[in-house]
Amino acid sequence: MSKLVECVPNFSEGRDTAVIDSIAAEIEAVRGVTLLDVDPGADTNRTVITFVGPPEAVVEAACRAGKRAAATIDMSRHHGSHARMGAMDVCPFVPVAGVTMDDCVALAQECGRRIGDLGIPVYLYEHAATSPSRKNLAAVRAGEYEGLASKLAQPEWKPDFGPAGHNPRSGAYVIGAREFLIAYNVNLATTDKRYADDIAYTLRERGRHKRSGNVVPFYYKGDVVVFGEDRFPCGACEHVAKSWDALAAHYRDAHDKDLAARYAALDYPAEAVAGRPVYADGRFSHVKAVGWVVDKYRRAQISINLTDFKVTPAHAVLEAARDEAALRGIAVTGSEIVGVVPFDAMLESGRYTCVACASPPGSRLAT
């Protein structure tokens, strides 16, 4: 079996076609690499490029693209609605055929070392992370470019490769190895970002601060629920326990979830939560989502990453977004894919759609 790796670097430039084309050209110049997709976004000021090839060729193309991005993108002048920290903001390697995740980790390490040798700070994330605190991309990119100088000054955030000093032009790169991710955006019939945020926080695995009182139609208008000395509300239902251990038992027995793991992912110290907000669980696991407005579409948009489509498929999230939008008196007007999608994911959603179309008039699936 031939070896095939996918690479999906994101670049902090979505408006200057000359810059985007020059980066894509560096990738296409590598023998054996196939450029699958170049998706620029003017509002996010970000371009997602997807290419595949044998491991050695893919890592060579990624390094060339990262070097070109550093030469053509000035992060000190960059503005856009997407979270970002560097010129080649994130660069994941994904196993496709004949390679393992460990192989992709080795590719991420090689790419990180080579980029670091250019004088650019590099962090490794996901399966390539060198510590649990660096596994989640959002945690690594917290503070974004504007907070990078102070982050680099902290010993716990010393880069995995490259200098710890701030490079104002290139910023820092985040390179890693991960499973296949589907980037999926849902458009809403409004230009009000609050709707997109509110629905995104409801859908995503991380969830949001739990609230009570005036939570309809906008959940964020309610009062934040906090932990007390002897009051421990559940984030998945209305149960209130009298201790952390009792809440953990309830969370396990009633919801089949690990409370300690849930709050560890949120950087909560389990022994000192009194006075801190309770987190409400999101509707789906393996889903990340944020809201923004795309001026080109004249729409607010829910930007979604499906990190395991076998657990949470795109059509399930779309149907939930429709339900949540209807509760707020608006509608979903369409959706779009960024990059490429596995055939199995398309097939599963296609089967769902065929069943929905064949359902009797008036049924839930036929609406």
Q: Measured between alpha carbons, how far is 190 from 210 in angstroms, rounded to an integer?
A: 25
Task: Count CB atoms within 10 A of the CB of residue 51.
Answer: 25
Q: Measured between alpha carbons, how far is 315 from 8 in angstroms, rounded to an integer?
A: 23
Q: Calculate the alpha carbon distances from 324 to 150, 203, 206, 303, 308 in Å.
A: 39, 9, 17, 15, 22
Q: Calculate the alpha carbon distances from 297 to 20, 187, 191 in Å.
A: 21, 9, 9
Q: Measured between alpha carbons, how far is 311 from 314 in angstroms, rounded to an integer?
A: 10
Q: For Cα atoms 318, 357, 307, give the angle at the middle one, nearest 5 degrees.
A: 25
For 144, residues 6+ apart whose C-beta sits below 8 A from its C-beta are 83, 84, 85
Q: Measured between alpha carbons, how far is 300 from 322 in angstroms, rounded to an integer?
A: 14
Instruction: Report which residue type is found at 266.
Output: L
For 281, residues 6+ apart whose C-beta sits below 8 A from its C-beta are 207, 235, 236, 255, 257, 262
- Indicate which residue of 82, 127, 250, 315 is catalytic: 82
Q: Is 315 a catalytic residue?
A: no
Kindly list the catalytic residues: 82
